[in-house]
Amino acid sequence: MEMLGLRRCVGELSATTSASAAFSRVGSGGTPRKTPKPRRVLTPVRRSGRLIAISATAPTRSAPGPRCSARLNGHSIKHKALPLKGSLSKAAAEEAEESDEEEQEKKAVVVIDKERVRILQERRCDSKARGAVYDTVLGICCHFCRQKKLCGEEDCKRCGEGDLNQPCKGKTDCSSCHSSYGILCRACLKVRYGEDMDEVRKNKSWMCPHCIEEKGIKKFWICNSSICLKKRKLAPTGIAIFDARQQGFESVAHLLMDKLKRGAF
């Protein structure tokens, strides 16, 4: 074998195979490769002793079938007895009475300090226009100027004596809506709509400009407050009484009526 060179060839072949095996373990980057770990066999999920005890004591169920109601399964069901005819209206009446009593209690809680009323009366404006004393409790908000001021009427028990259950004599009340749209002070009523408070008080069927506009009683007569003008997608007029009087109109409402007739507004 030595003469034929077989031993030398066997040595060279073993050297080359060992070198290739080492290269495969190291890899091309020079770092040895990690041999893959054998996969672990997953065990069942661990459960607490409480759940195991519950599952052991729970009765075994058969294969799930279609769900049926207790009546179809033969079980008896106890229903609540329905109220007799007319009892619902009695319950509603009792609830309404309780709510009325709560509202009366709330009104009784609001106690007006007489000393505070006296101080307000000393600062109260004597004129019958818009007033000068702002009060969030006794004052009623005007729809146009949105000021909660005490009126200057002599016979007003609300602003003069502090009685919350009495209406304000210096504010209007619409006979149609009885809402905040129909509350106007003496000054706004005169300047913006050309109406007098004394005549409005005598007229029990007086309607506010907002209701007149909605019902179409007076054509082109609209409520010219900023709230209502914005709802009509019109720009508020601001202080327009001087422009109206220069043009010979009685109020801002008459000026706007003329502009609407001409299509200039």
Cβ pair 152, 129 in contact under 8 A: yes
What's the pLDDT score for residue 242?
Answer: 92
Rounded-to-integer distance, Cα 211 and Cα 179, Å: 10
Over residues 106-135, the pLDDT tens digits come to 544 455 566 766 766 666 655 566 667 888
What's the pLDDT score for residue 85?
Answer: 45
What's the pLDDT score for residue 88?
Answer: 47
What's the pLDDT score for residue 117?
Answer: 67
Low-confidence ranges of the chain (pLDDT < 70): 1-7, 10, 15-114, 116-117, 119-131, 265
pTM of the model: 0.54
CA atoms within 13 A on the CB side of 26: 9
List the one residue out of 174, 153, 170 whose CA is nearest residue 223.
174
What's the pLDDT score for residue 33?
Answer: 63
Rounded-to-integer distance, Cα 211 and Cα 207, Å: 6
DSSP conformational letter for 219: T
What's the pLDDT score for residue 184?
Answer: 93
What's the pLDDT score for residue 155?
Answer: 83
DSSP, collapsed to helix, strand or coil, labels residue 248 as: coil
What's the pLDDT score for residue 55?
Answer: 56
What's the pLDDT score for residue 120?
Answer: 67
Strand partners, 149: 134
What's the pLDDT score for residue 216?
Answer: 86
Percent of residues in the chain assigned helix, strand, coil, to nearest 5: 45, 0, 55
Rounded-to-integer distance, Cα 18 and Cα 93, Å: 103
